[in-house]
Amino acid sequence: MARRLLIAGGGIGGLAAALAAARAGWQVQVLEQAAAFSEVGAGVQLGPNATRVLRDLGRLDVVRHAACVPQRLVARDARRGHVLGTLPLGSDFEARYGAPYLTVHRADLHAALLQGVQELPIGLHPDCPLVAVQDTAEGVRVLTAGGRALDGEALVGADGLWSLVRGSVVTDGAPLPSDHVAYRALIPMDRLPAAWQAQEVTAWLGPHLHAVTYPVRGGALLNLVCVVRQPLAGPRSGWDLPGTAQRLRAALGDVCPPLEQAMEAAPGWGLWVLHDRAPVVGAHQMARGRVALLGDAAHPMRPYLAQGAAMALEDARALGRSLEGVRGANPDVQAALQRYARERWPRVARVQRRSLRNATIFHATGLLRFARDRVMQVPRVMDVPWLYAHGAR
Burial of 69 (0-12, 13-18, 19+ CB in 10 A): middle
Q: How far is CA 318 from CA 60, 91, 372, in A?
A: 18, 27, 35
The model's pLDDT over 263-295, given as tens digits with 9 standing for 90+, comes to 999 999 988 889 889 999 999 999 999 999 999
Nearest CA-CA partner of 45 in 69, 23, 79: 69
Cβ pair 155, 333 in contact under 8 A:
no
Q: What are phi and psi of 118, to 5 degrees?
A: -70, -20
pLDDT below 70 — which residues of the chain?
A: 1, 232-242, 328-329
Q: Say what the pLDDT of residue 54 is.
A: 98
Q: Give residue 306's pLDDT.
A: 95
Nearest to 314 by CA among 355, 349, 348, 277: 348
**What does the angle CA 240 – CA 219 – CA 203 come to, to the nearest 5 degrees?**
65
Helices 106-118, 12-23: axis angle to 10 degrees equals 30
Give the per-residue pLDDT at 240. 58
pLDDT at site 199: 93
Helix, strand, coil shares of the chain as percentages rounded to 5?
40, 25, 35
**On the CB side of 84, how many CA atoms lie within 13 Å of its CA?**
23
Active site residues: 214
The CATH class, in words, for 41-105+176-276+363-393 is alpha beta
Beta bridge partners of 125: 31
- State the burial class of residue 266 (Cβ atoms within 10 Å of its Cβ: 0-12, 13-18, 19+): buried
For 1-37+126-174+277-360, which CATH class? Answer: alpha beta
The per-residue pLDDT for 266 is 94
What's the whole-number average pLDDT of the chain? 93
Q: Do 1-37+126-174+277-360 and 41-105+176-276+363-393 agree at the fold level?
A: no
Cα–Cα distance measured from residue 393 to residue 377, given in angstroms and rounded to the nearest whole number:
31
Q: What is the pLDDT of residues 215-240, one digit of tens each?
A: 999 999 999 999 998 876 554 555 55
* Four-residue CA torsion sign, 93, 23, 116, 146: negative
Rounded CA-CA distance 74/179 in Å is 26
Q: Where are the domains of the chain?
A: 1-37+126-174+277-360, 41-105+176-276+363-393
The model's pTM: 0.95
Q: Is the dihedral of CA 140, 176, 210, 374 positive or negative?
A: negative
The conformation of residue 295, written as its DSSP 8-state character, comes to: G
- The tally of CA atoms less than 13 A away on the side-chain side of residue 181 is 23
CA-closest candidate to residue 62, choices 11, 112, 120: 112
User: DSSP letters along 54-69, please?
Assistant: HHHTT-HHHHHHHSB-
Instruction: Give residue-wise pLDDT tens across range 115-139.
Output: 999 999 999 999 999 999 998 878 9
**Rounded Cα–Cα distance for residues 205 and 371 (Å):** 13
- So what's the pLDDT on residue 245? 83
pLDDT at 235: 47
Distance CA 320, CA 103 (A): 25
